[in-house]
Amino acid sequence: MGGTFDPIHHGHLVAASEVQTLLGLDEVVFVPTGQPWQKANQRVTPAEHRYLMTVIATASNPRFSVSRVDIDREGPTYTLDTLKDLQRQRPDAELFFITGADALSQILSWRGVDQMWDMAQFIGVTRPGHLLSDAGLPRERVILKEIPAMAISSTDCRRRVQSGQPVWYLVPDGVVQYIGKYNLYRPGAGEIRED
């Protein structure tokens, strides 16, 4: 499951857990994006913070892991590269890529989309406020799944922190504490020291 995860929240985690169970997947790999090129006009928290929050949020689930492939690759993040890297690391694995309804509706704008259909099955999941549809997509490569509705977005979490509202129970406890420790989502916050 790829995402900017800025921050990771319970909507992501429920989606991953549901798909893992529904499809009987051995593992769900969370892949934080390096440079989300379609979010180029918005400020994105440094990748190491997003990666570490994803590790904290997923640590307790033995079926969840986190991959650095997208944050360690230079340049804009393309899912085609993500799938190639994951395939290289797990040559025998059958790959599934989990997306929310909003991301699935944009998938035809992704770079090299025609090559992606052969590399993975795409699992589109319901998300409140978005229509889940496979219109225009190859039906045999896209599976649609209804999951429990979690009306949570990273945008809303960031806005809440910025305005002093709590994000308890929207994101895992460790992520609340991480956001507080590094003072993320407040003006001038979120620098990671290189020394």
Ligand X SMILES: Nc1ncnc2c1ncn2[C@@H]1O[C@H](COP(=O)(O)OP(=O)(O)OP(=O)(O)O)[C@@H](O)[C@H]1O
Ligand Y SMILES: O=C(O)c1ccc[n+]([C@@H]2O[C@H](COP(=O)([O-])O)[C@@H](O)[C@H]2O)c1
Query: Does residue 103 interact with ligand X by CB under 6 A?
Result: yes
DSSP state of 22: H
Contact 179/49 with Cβ under 8 angstroms?
Answer: no
The 154-193 contact track toward ligand X, x by CB under 6 A, reads xx--------------------------------------
**Among residues 20 and 194, whose Cβ is nearest to ligand X?**
20
**Cβ burial, residue 46 (10 Å; 0-12/13-18/19+):** middle
**Prior bond to 7 cis, omega within 30?**
yes
Q: Which bin fits 129, alpha (ψ -120 to 50), beta or left (φ > 0)? A: left
Which partner in ligand Y, ligand X, none is near 127 (CB below 5 to 8 A by kind)? ligand X
The 95-114 contact track toward ligand Y, x by CB under 6 A, reads --------x------xx---
What are the residues binding ligand X (CB under 6 A)? 3-6, 11-12, 15, 99-100, 102-103, 125, 127, 150, 152-155
